[in-house]
A and B are shown apart, each in its own frame.
Chain A
Amino acid sequence: MDWFFIITSLLKITILLGVILFMVSYAVYAERRVSAFIQDRLGPNRVGPAGLLQPIADMFKLLLKEDFTPRSANTFYYSLAPGLAVAPAIITIAVVPFGSTLFGVPMVVADVNVGIFFVFAISSLGVYGIVIGGWASNSKYPFLGAIRSSAQMLSYELSLGLAVIPVFLLVGNLRLTSVVRYQIEHGWFIAAFVGDWMNPWKWLLAIPMIISFLVFMIAIFAETNRLPFDLPEAEQELAGGYNTEYSSMKFALYFLGEYAAMITGSAVVVTLFFGGWHFPGIPDGYHGWVFGLINIAVFFTKVAVVIFVFMWVRWTLPRFRWDQLMRLGWLFFFEIALVNIFLVAGILAYGPRL
């Protein structure tokens, strides 16, 4: 524990936090522009060039609004809940390697040896923000939203956890940096054509990997309460869901939490299946700081692409019905993920060591 470590860690945390908050505000802007594009509208294009200053205007609007607390709300928990919704989403990013190295410093805040469990454990705490918010509002619709949300998140956490087991069966290590290292040597999990594409076993392994990826991606949609699984905040049924009674910055915090969860979810997807910061032909940061910066840029570009997929799905698909969602989670994705583990274990047991 030397000073160099503490200072670089603090720098990394500060910069990463800034980048995440910046990405959240521009993800909201991008969401509005993408939705407008999909629905053949213009979207926000008035504030600044092409509407690029819209997030700043939104922020001031939210800050200047009246912070209203319902009379019958449980004040302490009502104020605590938005924070509980934001914190887990942002803490999760700490274990995700967002670049190779820069000046010899590894570009990950905490490279713990239980990486993916850390992601699951901390993001599973995110449900408290929603549940407590819905309960403390002391109002019918937010409460229904909170109940729906907790049931949904618990159901899909199982599929989420089981879906990534094949990845770690292959890597043999829970550390997220080793997952990236493995993918650099053996090709991205989702794209068998990257790396040694002549190996037939790799193409065989690509089948369960793609199943794994699809289940994981869908479970992430459910975990982050995004459409087609946004039942906790289904406007038509619940008048806004768990955040109905919230206003001003508390509402903004919920919004921030949702988008931060989406960004960290995308970052985990990129790390697990899309090779993290690796791009074929670009060496890592040991070959010069320029490459280190390029690696970071590659990572965030990939994250942006996955976020775009999130938005694309949101504005294309209709919402599932409540019982359909639960049936899909328990009777379909759970089983698929389970069978998939056996499939990968079988291939690994009888195939050559990759």
Chain B
Amino acid sequence: MSPFLFWLFASLTLIFGAAVVLNPNPVASALSLVASFLGLSALFMSLDAFFIGIIQVLVYAGAVMVLFLFIIMLLDLRAEERRRINWLAAAGGFGVAVILLVQICVVIVHFQAAKQTFPPLARPTSADVWNIGQLLFMNYNLPFQVIGVLVLVATVGVVLLSRREPR
């Protein structure tokens, strides 16, 4: 993978990720998140993980964020846009982020396994969709089914909670 492309897409992902937090307008935030997802998906694709990358776009950018946008647009945004930034809270959040970054750097410097260079990953010989299917339905079949049941229960719960009782 070309380092130029990595830096391009990584910085796009980070810039739009920051824009999600910084934008006063929720619609702009949601769109920035979409752009951030696109950058992330490009990063996945540059690692030859086409399936994960494209699912990122299909599920998050194409479906989940459309629903988010759908709800946000129905709200009254003027109250949100007038909101002032709480500088104290912003400084606190920034401080926590900086502390986390410093911590990560310190840990990495002292981490022995991080010092050695790993051999480059072998290119997958079969299509990644096939690999994922094999893993999901052969090795991890039971966890996969259990997660499916959990998601189904959650869906039924949401339907039950959001349904208005007929009077």
Contact = CB atoms under 8 A, between A and B. Distances in A.
B123 to A, nearest CB: 12
Determine chain A's interface SS by DSSP, over half rule. helix
A114 B27 contact: no
A128 B61 CA distance: 10
Given A128-B34, A154-B63, A121 B58 contact: yes
B62 A117 contact: no
A121 B57 contact: yes
A174 B133 CA distance: 13
Interface in B130-148: none
Contact of B70 (A77, A125, A131): A131
B127 A174 contact: yes
B10 interface: no
Contacts of A153: 66
Interface string B48-67: 00110011011001110011
A154 B31 contact: no
Interface in A59-118: 77, 112-114, 117-118
Given A113-B127, A173-B127, A151 B58 contact: no
B19 interface: no
Contacts of B51: 114, 117
A148 B54 CA distance: 26
A135 B73 contact: yes
Contact of B73 (A118, A147, A157): A147
Given A125-B61, A128-B31, A132-B31, A117 B55 contact: yes
Interface residues of B, number: 22
B129 A125 contact: no
Given A113-B128, A114-B51, A128-B66, A122 B57 contact: yes
Contacts of A118: 54
B63 A150 contact: no
A55 B160 CA distance: 54
Contact of B27 (A113, A135, A143, A174): A135
Nearest to B74: A147
B154 to A, nearest CB: 18
A112 B44 CA distance: 14
B66 A127 contact: yes
A9 interface: no
B70 A151 contact: yes
A124 interface: yes
A120 interface: yes
Given A77-B27, A114-B129, A174-B127, A121 B62 contact: yes
Interface bracket on A: 20 to 34
A124 B58 contact: yes
A173 B129 CA distance: 8
B69 A131 contact: yes
Nearest to A173: B127
Contacts of A128: 31, 34, 66, 69
Contacts of A125: 34, 57, 61-62
A335 B28 CA distance: 36
Given A114-B51, A135-B27, A124 B62 contact: yes
Contacts of B129: 113-114, 174
Nearest to A136: B27
A262 to B, nearest CB: 19
Nearest to B27: A135
Contacts of A174: 127, 129
Nearest to A143: B73
A113 B127 CA distance: 7
A131 B73 contact: yes
B57 A154 contact: no
A113 B58 contact: no
Closest CB pairs A-B (n = 10): A124-B62, A121-B58, A121-B57, A117-B54, A114-B50, A113-B127, A114-B54, A121-B54, A135-B73, A150-B70
Given A147-B70, A174-B129, 8 more contacts: A77-B28, A117-B58, A121-B61, A122-B57, A128-B31, A131-B70, A132-B27, A154-B67
Interface of A: 77, 112-114, 117-118, 120-122, 124-125, 127-128, 131-132, 135, 143, 146-147, 150-151, 153-154, 157, 173-175
17 contacts: A77-B27, A117-B58, A118-B54, A120-B58, A121-B54, A122-B57, A124-B58, A125-B34, A128-B69, A131-B73, A132-B27, A135-B73, A146-B73, A150-B69, A154-B63, A154-B67, A174-B129
